[in-house]
Structure 1
């Protein structure tokens, strides 16, 4: 028998507050992602030290994802988000006070953990703002817009302040972002406590979710999309160097991707309800498959920018579609755990895959990376068509 109904959050400003909270946490992490490596180099440390700091951004969110997911399922929105914001706030203040390698490592770990763990609680609670598939797709299109906005704002803020006021001022300014998250969180209504879980459900392991075939399929697709982001960011500069493209041309290509990704997330609410989430997901993966296959055949910066824009459209659609589908395939009351497993897969990939990309790129070239990713995305589009919601 199905468990007690999951409460739905209300409040006109709840979604806007959640988007603001995620922007604050994610922009802080992205700003630290720029400032911390530059701080390490300013100390005269080696490239290995830079790699150590960057690893902190992925390792700690992966380690803390499951506890964060369980906490969100038990306590709702506010406590996990407050803990996440306090972690990010502590990390940035520590880096502002002590410009040393260990402080920069701590800032990376705490801001990364704050962004990753806060995102789990935000996405879990956002699913309660809608009661239909189309509604969830609209909600998650706005939620998915937050990282894109934060990815532009956070590094820009950090870079300008580092150049004009120094590292301490930059970290202090970044500390204002999680502080703003603490304030914005107050606009999210508290959830009505749901009925206590049954004894058997309370003893269920998070790994039992992997026994659900639709969840496994969706987790694979989510990981595949994460890998495709990483491949694009890693292999595009290599391909550009092979094509003798300038740095400004490569920057324009990446900018086309970012702008298209943001615009399509603004457009998703207009088409939600007219097309199913599975069809949207399968079509987006197929478009990404075609783009990755075409990239190595192009030699003109404008053509590559057009490809990047199409990839931004495809991958910009995928994340809201995956998050909306996750609500359907996860058991009631365990959406936080499901999001946590997704976060673990993504952050573990972020920590390990660049080494594999480097080995493959050195052995086979950048074009081979694009074509292998194209084949994987094509297979993923077939899996997306087979997604089915959990049985009631």
Structure 2
């Protein structure tokens, strides 16, 4: 891994950690202030909402401006959101902070993914750099909540008092600025200029490409599988009489496995094609989903969770590699924006759909339904060509 890539990964970790820390702290403060569970649910949804609507414009902006301008604006937005929450920790300001930090994270991810994809010299390097870059969210999902929780409990005069929250938000506001310190020296790649008289590109043009649509569908299938597991496992564990800490440990094992496989992927990138990795992941995912409802012990569910983490964790780097190979260089940012928009929209809608279906056929039935859908979708994977 090059020094420049390491600095960009560090920058993404710090910026992303500001959002994940706010995603922990803001709902806790809202609950402490007496707001209802519905209001807190809305607050949490706002972290993803801006990414749905801003992803495509952010991708187009990255295509025009490269890496540093979008990243700098993302740093300003994320730091401002957390700082506002520290200065005026009221519910409306917490909602604004959620919009700013969530949107900033999405825009920064698109700009970073576009940059490292363009910097890669060949398909093997594409798989390697996206495997390394995919580690950043996993690290940030630990660093942000851990730091925020530690400060909220110990930085104030008493655990979880208002000064503790304010100090936590202030520290989170500094993380994106530290990220900019690491990323500011990155060498900007030459911009791609459209030919004079060429018509302005539209998102529909990308969606009309059969291979791009197929890749989006495959990515949606894998992302939905991630959501199925995160949403249904706590319910299944509760039905089996498992405690909250045990369920949390099973979910934690999934996250660790997903991060570990991304460390291993760069070492095997030259030996495995994107299509074979995604197809293998689909088969394993379908198998694990079919087995899950039959398990009753925490150990068996934990093993299943780890195997599923390995399978699903390997997919994103492969999808990103293929996306950069099948889309025009001057529209990588727009393609990344469309992908992020589709995934976030799915993450908002899928839990409601899963809950409705689960009420009709039971949680085990939803797992088996998901298993069948993933198995059928494996056919689409074999049609992928970079």
Deviates more, 1:91-100 or 1:225-234: 225-234
Aligned to 1:338: 335
Aligned residue pairs: how many? Answer: 378
Work out the CA distance in 1 between the residues paired with 2:268 and 2:133.
Answer: 16
Q: Assess, with a 3 A threshold, how the Cα gap between structure 1 residues 202 and 145 changes in structure 2: closer, same or farther.
A: farther
**For 1:141-179, what per-residue CA distance to the aligned partner results, in whole angstroms no more than 9, with x for missing partners?**
000000011111111111111112211111111112111
Which of 31, 36, 41 is matched with 1:51 structurally? 41
Counterpart check, 1:33 vs 2:31: no
Q: How does 1:267-286 map to 2 (within 5 A)?
A: 267-286=264-283
Aligned to 1:208: 205
Specify the SS of the correspondent of 1:83: helix
Counterpart check, 1:18 vs 2:8: yes
Aligned to 1:179: 177
Specify the SS of the correspondent of 2:223: helix
How far did residue 115 of structure 1 move? Answer: 0.7
**For 1:80-130, what per-residue CA distance to the aligned partner results, in whole angstroms no more than 9, with x for missing partners?**
111111111010001111111111101111110011111000001011231
**5+ long unaligned stretches in structure 2:** 156-163
How far did residue 332 of structure 1 move? Answer: 2.3
**5+ long unaligned stretches in structure 1:** 1-10
How far did residue 182 of structure 1 move? Answer: 1.3
Which of 49, 56, 68 is matched with 1:66 structurally? 56
Question: Normalised by the size of structure 1, how large is the TM-score?
Answer: 0.94
Q: Give yes or no for contact 2:254–2:308 (8 Å, CA) kept in 1.
A: yes
Aligned to 2:153: 163
Work out the CA distance in 2 between the residues paired with 1:355 and 1:320.
Answer: 28
Work out the CA distance in 2 between the residues paired with 1:170 and 1:273.
Answer: 43
Work out the CA distance in 2 between the residues paired with 1:366 and 1:177.
Answer: 40
Q: Give yes or no for contact 2:119–2:189 (8 Å, CA) kept in 1.
A: no
Question: Normalised by the size of structure 2, how large is the TM-score?
Answer: 0.95
Q: Give yes or no for contact 2:71–2:108 (8 Å, CA) kept in 1.
A: yes
Q: Give yes or no for contact 1:13–1:188 (8 Å, CA) kept in 2.
A: no
Work out the CA distance in 2 between the residues paired with 1:201 and 1:185.
Answer: 33
